Amino acid sequence: MNLAQQRTVAEETPWAAIAGVIATVSVFAIAQGLSYPLLSFILQRQGVSPGMIGLSAAMTPIGFIVSSPLIPAVSRRFGAGRTALSCAALSAVLLALIGWTQDVHAWFLLRFLLGVAVNPLYVLSEVWMIALAPPSRRGRIMGIYTTLISAGFAAGPLCLLFVGSEGWPPFLVGIVAFCICGICLALVLHRLPDMNGEGGRHVSVFGFIPLAWLLLFAVVTAAGFEQGILALLPVYGTSYGIAESTMSALLAVMIAGNIALQVPLGLLAERWSARLVRFACVTATVLGCALLPLLIESPLVWPFIFVWGAVSYGIYTMTIIELGERFTGSMLVAGNAAFSMMWGVGGIAVPPAAGAAMDLVGAPGLPLALGLICFLLAVLSIVRRRDA
Where b means 16+ CB within 10 Å and e means fewer, 77-113 reads eebbbebbbbbbebbbebbbbbbeeeebeebbebbbb
Instruction: Place 281 in a pLDDT band, splitting at 50, 70 and 90.
Output: very high
Q: ∠ CA(25), CA(39), CA(37), 5° rounding?
A: 65
What count of residues does the chain have? 388
Average pLDDT of the segment spanning 375-379 = 95
pLDDT tens sequence across 9-51:
444 678 888 888 888 888 878 888 888 778 878 887 888 876 6
CB half-sphere exposure, 331, CA atoms < 13 A: 15
Q: How confident is the model at residue 60 (pLDDT cuts 50, 70, 90)?
A: confident
Asked if the 12-196 domain carries CATH number 1.20.1250.20, the reply is yes
User: Three-state DSSP class for 203?
Assistant: coil
Burial class (CB in 10 A: 0-12, 13-18, 19+), 52: middle
Domain 205-383 -> CATH class: mainly alpha
237 and 253 Cβ atoms separated by less than 8 Å? no
User: Picking from 264-273, 283-292, 378-387, which range would have the lowest pLDDT averaged per residue?
Assistant: 378-387
Rg of the chain on CA atoms, in Å = 20
pTM of this structure? 0.84
Rounded to an integer, the average pLDDT of 343-361 is 87
Label residue 386 by pLDDT band (50, 70, 90): low
Give the Cα separation of 368 and 4 in Å (integer): 52
| Residue 201 buriedness (CB in 10 A; 0-12 / 13-18 / 19+) | exposed
Range 138-146 average pLDDT:
88
Give the CA angle between residues 54, 60, 64 to the nearest 5°: 135
pLDDT per residue as tens digits for the range 227-241: 888 778 888 888 888
Widest Cα–Cα separation across the chain? 65
Domain-wise residue ranges, the chain: 12-196, 205-383
Distances (CA, A) of 46 to 19, 43, 165, 167, 214: 41, 5, 13, 13, 44
Query: DSSP string covering 88-113, please?
Result: HHHHHHHHHHHHHH--HHHHHHHHHH
Q: How far apart are CA 127 and CA 329, in angstroms?
A: 9
d(C-alpha 291, C-alpha 349), whole Å: 24
| Residue 24 confidence (pLDDT) | 83
pLDDT of 329 over the 90 cut: no
Provide the pLDDT for residue 163.
85
| Residue 137 contacts residue 10 (beta carbons within 8 Å) | no
Q: Is residue 86 predicted with pLDDT exceeding 50?
A: yes
Q: Residue 178, class by beta-carbon neighbours within 10 Å (0-12 exposed, 13-18 middle, 19+ buried)? A: buried
pLDDT at position 2 over 70: no
Neighbours of 265 (CB within 10 A): 27
Query: CA-based angle 168:162:113, to the nearest 5?
Result: 45
* Mean pLDDT over the full length of the chain: 86
Mean pLDDT over 362-371 rounds to: 92
Structure confidence by residue, pLDDT tens digits, 196-249: 655 456 788 898 999 989 999 999 999 989 888 877 888 888 888 888 778 878
What is residue 310's predicted lDDT score, i.e. its pLDDT?
92
Q: Do the domains 205-383 and 12-196 match in fold?
A: yes
